[in-house]
Amino acid sequence: MRLLIYSFIFLFAGFSFTSQVAAETWYVKKSATKLQAKAKARSKVLGKLNKGTPVDVLRKSGKFYKVSAGGETGWIFRFKLTKNLPSGSGGDDDVLGALGGQQQIAARESAYGSSIRGLSPVSEEHAIKKGASPASIESVKEMERYKVDDEALDKFLEEGRLGAYAD
Amino acid sequence: MKTKFIILCFLGALFWAIPSHSFNFGNILKEVQKSTRPPEKTQPSKEEETKPKQSPAQSSGQSGGLIGLGNSLGIFDKKTSKILQQSVNTLKALQPIAYEEEKAIGGRLAVEVFNRYGGAYDDPELLRYVNLVGQTVADVSSRSDIDYHFAILNTEFPNAFATPGGYVFVSIGLLRMIENEAELAGILAHEVAHIARKHALQTLERSRSLQGVSSLTLTVIDKDPGLFDKLIDEVSNVLFTKGLDKKLEFEADKYGREFAYRTGYYPGALKRFIQKLGASKKNQGSIFSSTHPTSRERYSLLQKYSSRYKKASLYPTLGKRFKVALKRQN
């Protein structure tokens, strides 16, 4: 009987001291989200996950969540994850493919990258019809083409000790 | 004794090894999670996601049938039926506006912003800096899965705008009033919050222009160009003249501060800037002041909900980096 009581105390105490939580499925909010070896922004990057990749959250520790994705376990900055499937994502992306895709992510400086959608023809036609200046229309197109690449953004965060790099 | 110890160790090890989802300690777990959750209900929780508010009267679709029945049974006369039908149409549920249509509306309004407020300010380095700051706060926002675009307007009036679909603007006049990066982050995050929370779309979904329209698609817009005219006029009037509802502005302030804080910026920066803006002569009579609640109201509200940002003073404002980015302007 005493053994049983000790066992329960031991189990309960063990549970209380861990921050391990019931595994929940969360999703990666944005492509190229880093899966890291430790709960630190400067730790080794194990891979990069695509938007919509489902991950099992195993543990929460400050700004980072320990997750399991496609057989790989690592840490992700918590604001890169969402409980709901992000819009526009397939949701069942090939996680292993995503993990292996790190090399494919080219390092580019902030530049006019490829446009995601561009100014809608409906918007442009309407703007022309209403006499908006061509310069204004072109400015919106330029605005849409402008892309800050992930590497530049990461460097910016690191220099400012922001985001995952914040103390 | 030794056996007992081994059994205890075994049980302990077993517990640690078992995947946590095998147990559900319900409230205990909730308490663990609660300790890292913002205490205040009016703030976005750390995992909260954008859930645009429901369009009004989602269930009103049945009412038309009832009115028709009432009419045929002689309960309502024709005039009453017509009035009731009009009311129902006004309240008729509009499906939430999808992203493609949101971008069409927002893109058109973005052209209007450049058209009305001095066009684009030509400084690639400063533009890059604004994009970096903007992107950092957008990335931790509750709607980080869409693309955000940031631009600087060539006007000395202090202005900042957001149009649906991810377009954010800040004027060079406003940038010159800012003292540090945390203030800029707070302002851009306020605008990102308008987009993330779909404030302009919410206003539009309640609009009379969409009376009787159950789903606003590009096909519907193509078939009825007059409808797009009306929509753009209506949202332009809200964004550039009347301003959004005060509650939505306050919400954008709270969410904006939260997004800046999540990024790691000093969370008091937005409040401080609002106070400064209120005292500025530059702001008097500007479109920014006429479309927003008073600085005093905004400051008070942010002050009221400041308690959750403990140790706020430890967070950086990054004044030096901001000054370097803007130095050619002085």
Determine, for residues A122 and B229 on separate chains, whether the beta-carbon distance falls below 8 Å.
Answer: no
Shared-domain flag, residues B70 and B203: no
Shared-domain flag, residues B77 and B142: no
Q: Does A85 touch chain B (CB under 8 A)?
A: no
Is residue B16 situated within a structural domain?
no
d(CA B105, CA B90): 21
Shared-domain flag, residues B298 and B176: yes
Is residue B191 situated within a structural domain?
yes
Of the partner residues B8, B131, B145, the one whose CB lies closest to the CB of residue A30 = B145
pLDDT digits (tens, 9 = 90+) for B298-310: 988 888 888 888 8
pLDDT digits (tens, 9 = 90+) for B227-270: 888 889 988 988 888 888 889 999 999 999 999 999 999 999 99
Contacts of B107 in chain A (CB under 8 A): 119-120, 123-124, 140, 144
Shared-domain flag, residues B182 and B219: yes
Shared-domain flag, residues B87 and B105: no
Contacts of B307-310 with CB under 8 Å at 24 or more apart are: B307/B40, B308/B38, B308/B39, B308/B40, B308/B43, B309/B257, B309/B261, B309/B267, B309/B268
Is residue B298 situated within a structural domain?
yes
Is residue B72 situated within a structural domain?
yes
- Domain spans, chain A: 19-105
Judge whether residue B6 has pLDDT over 70. Answer: no
Shared-domain flag, residues B73 and B105: no
Contacts of B121 in chain A (CB under 8 A): none
Shared-domain flag, residues B76 and B169: no
Domain boundaries, position B82: 60-91
Is residue B43 situated within a structural domain?
no
**Total of domains in chain B:** 2
Mutate to test the interface with A, among B145, B216, B322 (most CBs of A within 10 A): B145
Shared-domain flag, residues B85 and B156: no
d(CA B131, CA B57): 39
The ipTM (two decimal places) reads 0.73
Shared-domain flag, residues B167 and B272: yes
> Which contiguous run of DSSP H or E holds residue A53?
none
pTM for the whole structure: 0.73
Shared-domain flag, residues B182 and B208: yes
DSSP string, A15-38: HHT--EEEEEEEEESSTTEEEESS
Tell me the mean pLDDT in the region B268-276. 93
Judge whether residue B151 has pLDDT over 70. Answer: yes
Q: Give the full edge-to-edge strand order of the sheet including A81-82.
A: A45-49, A33-36, A72-77, A64-69, A54-61, A20-28, A81-82
The topology under which CATH files domain A19-105 is SH3 type barrels. (2.30.30)
Is residue B10 situated within a structural domain?
no
Is residue B36 situated within a structural domain?
no
Shared-domain flag, residues B83 and B175: no
Q: Does B122 touch chain A (CB under 8 A)?
A: no
Q: Does A10 touch chain B (CB under 8 A)?
A: yes
Is residue B25 situated within a structural domain?
no
Contacts of A123 in chain B (CB under 8 A): 103-105, 107-108, 110-111
> Which contiguous run of DSSP H or E holds residue A90?
none
Neighbour count for residue B208 (Cβ, 10 Å): 10
Count of alpha carbons within 13 angstroms of residue B102, beta-carbon side: 25
Shared-domain flag, residues B145 and B253: yes
Q: Does B152 touch chain A (CB under 8 A)?
A: no
Query: Is the distance from CB of B48 to CB of A29 less than 8 angstroms?
Result: no
Mean pLDDT of successive 10-residue segments in chain A (167 residues)? Answer: 60 49 84 93 94 94 92 94 70 34 32 54 92 96 92 95 92
